[in-house]
Structure 1
Amino acid sequence: MPDRVAQAFLDLDVYRLILPRDLGGKGVDPLTLFDLVEEVSTYDGSVGWNYALGSNGGSMAGALAPSVAAKLFATKDSAMCGSGPPQGRAVATEGGYRVTGRYAWASGIHQAKWVMGGCFVFDGEERRVGPHGGPVVIHMLAPRSDANVLDTWHTGGMRGTGSTEFELNDVFVPNEHTFMMFGAEPTHPDPLYRVPTSFFGFTLTAVPLGIARATIEALRQLAANRPSMPGRAGLRDQPHVHYTLGKARAMVEASRLGVRDAFTRMWDEVRGDGATLESRARLRSAAVHAVETSIEAVGMCYRAAGGTALFEQFPFERALRDVNATGGHVVFQRAMMEDCGRVCLDLPPLLPMF
């Protein structure tokens, strides 16, 4: 991200919008954050992606003691980044853990104040085992200044996210900066902290939708302003362009409404007796469908733009790379939709993140 954009995010205090007011945030509801991320993504998908993930600290603060969360997110520069799967080793020591590990997919690490990572817990050289026989996993927050940021992000899409890897080498993390990402009882009463794991990825869904919206508009402007060639109708007069604009817009708008409706239903349940498995499956399937639909819509626009789409001065080739890159995230992959189908058949989901 350009320095001036990163600084503007800090000046406008955008990373703490979803954080409850008593923890120093603005208490913005998740749907509003979704809309903001989508709007930012119409300008730049990578910036929207980093915005969505940088704000994740607000949705995880409920796993920390309120006094600790208020301290960690006390300033405007409280963006976080990191990786959920356990890729590190946390050796128990007095007052906390000594953490060592190499973590991938740290989107926005160049703008982040905190890095997060999952760790297997060790007592000396022995891996700690839980009551059910599986390894004990914790997640931790450490200052980015304690991390060695690596140069591994060389990609064909979403290049501006800087989603590179980082290392922690025997970094001390106090107990109060560790938490259970999934399954722990929330420490704060805000309904944000009662949403199930299915909520993770909801805000990210706005990114491909924003990219698709911008690409449809780019095709519209190209068709409206491109002059006709001698003996050949311009894009403005070609039926396949008319169809693409109408169809792509309908696809994106419908899938966007589906995501918002699925989340609204879950949000209502969360503020009542709790989210059902059905509502979790509905949100997961709506999110995957929206990403797949966005990828298809951008591909249609790329094709309709003809040879113009090849040139970097137009947004089509980058949009094609970026929107396909978003589909690679674990919460948007095919296995998530397969689990939604399992729920339809009264079978349990297989993925722990479902």
Structure 2
Amino acid sequence: MLLDRVDLTITAEPPGASRDAAFDHALEVLRQRRDEFRELGYVPKEYINLLKKAGIYRASTPATFGGEPQPPAEFLEQIEEISTIDPATGWVASFGSALTYFSALPYSTQEKLYKKGIDLTFAGGMFPMVEAEKVEGGYIASGQWMFASGCAGADILGIGLKGGPETEGKPVTALVHPDDVEIVENWDVAGMRSTGSNNVVVKDLFIPEEYTFIRGGTPTIEEPLTRYPALAYAAQVLAVTTLGAGRGALDYIRDQGAGTKSVTGGAAKGNRSVYKLGLAHAEAELRSARSYFYETTRDVWQKAVDDTPITTEDIVYLRIAATHAAQAGRKAVLAAFDLAGTGAIYNSHPLQRFLQDGLVPAQHAMLQENTLEASGALLMGFEAGIPSFP
């Protein structure tokens, strides 16, 4: 059975100074190893374990089962900080929020799962959704799924199955053990390479129904974090990596511009009008997007804490803030690249990390321009035009 083979012996340090020190240690190791992760094409398991010790992978474990769920803004700030060093590792760490999906599992399944441990790393390849054969007690699935970010370090994997009328068009996630899949190493990309978002394949795999749930489905437990909109949160944790990329890029530009001279012998690059204006404009736009992002997050979280109704409009504003953050972070990275000049075209240049990774989140289906169109439609009372949105 799935849970018999899951090893959850690595646990977080106690809250407070020990856990803060574990997080700081993980950041320092990341500074030293980020280039290695890019060469590998994934974040290795031993580094995931450092993030576990820092509490990243219990951030969405329900309190009902002994977890220490974090307010979304606090978790997002941690992912942003990781992403200022390496956005791809931030992307992998962001799935510390993914256990919010697990709240739609049967209560008894969650009880058994978290009895094994509450520091759980989940990765999923959801698409394309596959039509599984319904059999007594579960499903038999065969197929290949794309974009399984973080699959190299996951304790449990998820694969996407087609839902029916009973799921209202939402996909079904089936939980499987990493040993039951083949990982196809086809993640040959320029951006977010360290996420290791390879394909996963299963063949005639039986999956008990108790290990399936509707992605974004109704929670079987009642807590503030299970009341917070799950699909919007999934968009937010990806968007915040771009805020981190933008911050890392602008910090580099500021530090370099303060002291370097042009190779042509002219005035320091940073003392040119275009450099100073460009940096100031980029800072204003990035900080504005960030403020809106966190303000909206905290407003909706307070409703979840107070158990007051979270409206469609509330969720729409979360989606707008997430897409806007991804696009604003992307613009900040491009502004930094423009200001850096010719040197930034070299693969070895420090800005390449932020450029290559920072352009990717806004390409994601959850953060593309059409999500803004769908949001505007809902605000005016029209159909969103995107399944399961917002």
Per the TM alignment, residue 295 of structure 1 is displaced from its structure 2 partner at its CA by 1.0
* Structure 1 counterpart SS, 2:158: strand
Contact 1:37 1:206 in 2 (8 A): yes
Unpaired segments of 5 or more residues in structure 1? 122-128
The one-letter amino acid paired with 1:138 is V
Question: Equivalent residues in 2 for 1:149-298 (5 A)?
Answer: 149-182=183-216, 184-196=217-229, 197-229=231-263, 231-270=265-304, 271-298=306-333
* Higher mean C-alpha deviation, range 302-311 or range 218-227: 218-227
Inter-CA distance 181–229: structure 2 relative to 1 (3 Å threshold): closer
Per the TM alignment, residue 199 of structure 1 is displaced from its structure 2 partner at its CA by 2.8
C-alpha distance in structure 1 between counterparts of 2:102 and 2:165, whole Å: 24
Per the TM alignment, residue 61 of structure 1 is displaced from its structure 2 partner at its CA by 2.2
Contact 1:139 1:180 in 2 (8 A): yes
* Structure 1 counterpart SS, 2:385: coil
* Structure 1 counterpart SS, 2:153: coil
Inter-CA distance 4–234: structure 2 relative to 1 (3 Å threshold): farther
> What's the CA shift string for 1:42-70, capped at 9, x where partnerless?
110110000112x1432112111334224
C-alpha distance in structure 1 between counterparts of 2:319 and 2:189, whole Å: 27
Alignment of 1:45 onto 2:81: no
The one-letter amino acid paired with 1:326 is P
C-alpha distance in structure 2 between counterparts of 1:31 and 1:309, whole Å: 33
TM-score by length of 2: 0.82
Contact 2:44 2:152 in 1 (8 A): no
* Structure 2 counterpart SS, 1:68: helix
Unpaired segments of 5 or more residues in structure 2? 1-42
TM-score by length of 1: 0.90
* Structure 1 counterpart SS, 2:360: helix
C-alpha distance in structure 1 between counterparts of 2:316 and 2:49, whole Å: 38
C-alpha distance in structure 1 between counterparts of 2:346 and 2:156, whole Å: 38
* Structure 2 counterpart SS, 1:225: coil
Per the TM alignment, residue 4 of structure 1 is displaced from its structure 2 partner at its CA by 4.5
Alignment of 1:322 onto 2:357: yes
Per the TM alignment, residue 21 of structure 1 is displaced from its structure 2 partner at its CA by 2.7
Inter-CA distance 246–92: structure 2 relative to 1 (3 Å threshold): same
C-alpha distance in structure 2 between counterparts of 1:252 and 1:316, whole Å: 17
Inter-CA distance 344–93: structure 2 relative to 1 (3 Å threshold): closer
Inter-CA distance 334–23: structure 2 relative to 1 (3 Å threshold): same
The one-letter amino acid paired with 1:140 is A
* Higher mean C-alpha deviation, range 1-10 or range 43-52: 1-10
* Structure 2 counterpart SS, 1:202: helix
Contact 2:128 2:160 in 1 (8 A): yes
C-alpha distance in structure 2 between counterparts of 1:2 and 1:181, whole Å: 27
Per the TM alignment, residue 308 of structure 1 is displaced from its structure 2 partner at its CA by 1.7
The one-letter amino acid paired with 2:291 is L
Question: Equivalent residues in 2 for 1:90-109 (5 A)?
Answer: 90-109=132-151
Contact 2:98 2:234 in 1 (8 A): no
Kindly tell me the number of residue pairs found equivalent between the two proteins: 344
C-alpha distance in structure 2 between counterparts of 1:109 and 1:120, whole Å: 21
* Structure 2 counterpart SS, 1:312: coil
Structure 1 residue aligned with 2:176, among 142, 153, 169? 142
Per the TM alignment, residue 316 of structure 1 is displaced from its structure 2 partner at its CA by 1.4
Identity across matched positions, percent: 26
* Structure 2 counterpart SS, 1:110: helix
Per the TM alignment, residue 154 of structure 1 is displaced from its structure 2 partner at its CA by 0.5
Structure 2 residue aligned with 1:89, among 123, 131, 143? 131
* Structure 2 counterpart SS, 1:101: strand
The one-letter amino acid paired with 1:247 is H
Per the TM alignment, residue 24 of structure 1 is displaced from its structure 2 partner at its CA by 3.6
Per the TM alignment, residue 160 of structure 1 is displaced from its structure 2 partner at its CA by 0.5
Q: Residue 124 of structure 1 aligns with which residue? A: none
> What's the CA shift string for 1:96-143, capped at 9, x where partnerless?
21121211110000011111122136xxxxxxx5369x8795221111
Q: Residue 71 of structure 1 aligns with which residue? A: 112
The one-letter amino acid paired with 1:116 is G
> What's the CA shift string for 1:245-302, capped at 9, x where partnerless?
2111111111011111112222233343322121111111111111111111111110
The one-letter amino acid paired with 1:282 is Y
* Higher mean C-alpha deviation, range 220-229 or range 331-340: 220-229
Contact 2:61 2:67 in 1 (8 A): yes
Contact 2:103 2:220 in 1 (8 A): yes
* Structure 1 counterpart SS, 2:132: strand
C-alpha distance in structure 2 between counterparts of 1:27 and 1:325, whole Å: 28
The one-letter amino acid paired with 1:353 is F
* Structure 1 counterpart SS, 2:125: strand
C-alpha distance in structure 2 between counterparts of 1:101 and 1:179, whole Å: 18
Inter-CA distance 161–314: structure 2 relative to 1 (3 Å threshold): same
